Structure formats: C-alpha cells, structure tokens
Amino acid sequence: MHRAADAATLAELVALMDRYAVCAVGHNRPLSNEEHIAFSLQLGPMDRGKSPKIAGTGIRIPHNELVDQSNMDQDGAIYAEGDRRLAFKRANRLWHTDMSFRQVRATYSLLSAHVVPPEGGDTDFIDMRVVYDALPQATKARLDGLVVEHSYWYSRKLGGGPDPTETERASRPPARHPVVYVCPRTGRKSLYIASHVSGILGWPEDAARSLIDELMAFATQPRHVYSHKWRVGDVVIWDNLITLHRATPFDDTRYRRDMRRATCREAPVHSVPA
C-alpha cells in the first residue's frame, strides 16, 4: 500500500472499508512517513494544520500530517511517569473515535506500527453499525434527532489527564454531531458516540450522562470487540464515522511503542497555526 493506487484499487479499498469498517495491511517494514502520507491522501483530505501543542514539548515527527502516537520524546527517550504527554496519550485507552470533537470529523485513520512493545499495546475496535442494529427499538426511537456535544478536554480529564491551560482549551473547542450517523455510501446507520461526549443538546447533564453511559456500556460488550495484535509494518485503517477504538495498556514507562497516524477528514481544513 505504499505505492500510488489506481482508481479501481482505491474503490475496492473503500468497498472493503464499507464492508468491514476496519482493515489491517501487513508490510515487511514500516512505511516511511512520506509513503504513509502519500497513500493516506488518496483516501481523502488530510489535516495539514499544526497539532495542538501540549505545553513545553518538542516535535518528534516533522510532518503536520502525522499524529505521533508514541510514548517517546523528540530524542527517542521514553516519557517519564508524570509527564503531561504520557497522561494525555493514556486517554487513548478510553473508547473513542478520532476527532469527533472537531466539527469537520475524521473519516479514515491509518495507523502505522514502527516499534511495538513485547507485550500489550493491542488496539481494540468496535463496529458501531453492528451496535446500532442490536439496540432495542425503544432506544433507537429515543436517539432519533438527538445531537451530542464532543469535547477533547472532557475525555482527557476522564482519562486522568491534567486540566488544560487556557491556550490548550482554546485550541480545541467542542463540536456537535447527530448521535446517529448514516453512511452515504451504504445507507447503514451507526451510533456516533465516544468518550469525548460531554453532553446532549437540550438535555440536563444527569440525564445525558446516564443515556450516554448506558449506550457506551451496550456498545463495548466483549462480543462487539476485535483486538488487533500489532506487528511492525502493520497499517490498520479504520472508518471513524462507524467505529470506536481504544489503545490497551502496556508497560509504557519501560518499553517503546512507536505508532504514527494519518487522518483523513470530511473536508479540507485549514487550521490557524497555534
């Protein structure tokens, strides 16, 4: 997948994604950053803005298109326990979908494995179309027309992260999306929620929290979960609009895990540099 794909191959990939929601592609070496970016761009516009900056840190991967999901700093040293960046990254262990806290959502994410730990650090996935279909009819009726608010800082806090600075908070305001997503290609419905959900529009906080908690508990039952065990060179592609995912724990102050993510968006975004 590191070569340019022709239109038929890309259409085939999109059809596979529409069918399976998550696809894994193995390679005998990790993709270079340039290959990763070039391939991903064929699947949609990518975020070319600056990543929001966590105060006081340097940049390890010099490409705005790639999100550094490793536990390493710019010198390749493993984050120390207590590092703010480690705390924020551990929030990936909550069930989420990428960039639901942005108004222009993520469509595909392509996560590439450069270094994997000897144990742990799998990534779990759920197909939220299967979840939606399995909901009781009465619940589906309650969801009709609901709009949900997603906040990046809400899930960082939930994941044990520190309070954001004002500049960090301002760099990612919340977004609003219908709780039911309908895929324009397949017509299938899915439940669009995540640990980023901070409320339901027009609902009191308690009622919103209890419905969201109930939906998350239903969605994340073990029978809905696929766990990906990484090998170096793997690229896993998922459709954020129809899945949830989470990182699973590993000994992250002892072993390196170097994962890099390209993210396609619903539309081009030109973020203002932070």
Residues forming contacts to ligand OGA in the complex (CB under 6 A) are 69, 92, 98, 109, 111, 123, 245, 247, 259, 261
13/259 with CB nearer ligand OGA: 259
The option from Mn ion, ligand OGA, none interacting with 69 (CB < 5 to 8 A, set by class) reads: ligand OGA
Between 96 and 189, CB nearer to ligand OGA: 96
Q: Which does 111 bind (CB under 5 to 8 A by kind): ligand OGA, Mn ion, none?
A: ligand OGA
**Residue number with CB closer to ligand OGA (69 or 155):** 69
b/e sequence 211-229, b meaning 16+ C-beta within 10 Å: bbeebbeebeeeebbbebe
At its nearest, how many Å lie between ligand OGA and the CB of residue 40? 13
Report the residue number, 26 or 182, with the smaller CB distance to ligand OGA: 26
- Using the rule CB under 5 A, is 168 a contact of Mn ion? no
Residue 261 touches which of ligand OGA, Mn ion, none (CB < 5 to 8 A by kind)? ligand OGA
Number of residues that bind Mn ion (CB under 5 A): 1
- Asked if 98 is part of the footprint of Mn ion (rule: CB under 5 A), the reply reads yes
In the bound complex, what is the minimum distance in angstroms from residue 246's beta carbon to ligand OGA? 7
The listed partner (ligand OGA, Mn ion, none) that binds 247, CB under 5 to 8 Å by sort, is ligand OGA
Binding site for Mn ion (CB under 5 A): 98
